[in-house]
Chains A and B, each alone.
Chain A
């Protein structure tokens, strides 16, 4: 079954304690993204990756890091989490067909609470 998986699904942590949210897709997609969703602000892109070792900032990259060492994985790293990073996080992947963006497949989300 084609899917995007994220772990953990729920996480409570404290300010300053480094954490990693994993994302994996089994569709051999080139493109992967991370979004955060906050009430009243909709979905905002944090980082995206167009292929292995190719990443770029989205609209709200401050406080986050990503890496793309393998095509299927795109972890989101919070080196020193702060309460304003409390949010619902989504990972997404998509392929490319004849140069046209294919649809994005979203993971189930990771709800993060930073105390």
Chain B
């Protein structure tokens, strides 16, 4: 299983862009990179998933360099409601099993 490393916490201000980098040096060829968001006492919620290059949806962008040993989640123009813990996961397809490991996550605090 690919182990992930993320910063423990980050502070930001409303309207700013937040970038969270996740390291996954031993990512395997079949692994996808997925990011989840979790608010206190709630289950994690999917944000974005990618394999390589750049993926963008209505919530965030995910940048993955060619070597795929890291990835960066970008949250544009954050608001107070974006205060949450963000998890980076690296895992294989379901056919190879479903052992996904959540790391410690990055606690993002958005200030007024």
Contacts and interface: CB of A to CB of B under 8 A. Distances in A.
Contacts of A96: 93-95
Contacts of B95: 96, 99
A101 B93 contact: yes
Interface in A46-71: 48, 50, 56, 58-59
B99 A109 contact: no
B41 A88 contact: yes
A43 B100 CA distance: 10
Contact of A101 (B41, B42, B44, B91): B91
Contact of B93 (A59, A88, A99, A107): A99
A106 B92 CA distance: 19
Give the secondary structure class of A's interface.
strand
B46 interface: yes
B98 A48 contact: yes
A42 B41 contact: no
A77 B14 CA distance: 44
Contacts of B98: 31, 33, 48, 50, 56, 101
11 contacts: A35-B102, A42-B87, A43-B44, A50-B97, A56-B98, A99-B94, A99-B95, A100-B32, A101-B32, A104-B100, A111-B41
Interface of A: 4, 30-31, 33, 35, 42-45, 48, 50, 56, 58-59, 88, 90, 92, 94, 96, 99-101, 103-109, 111
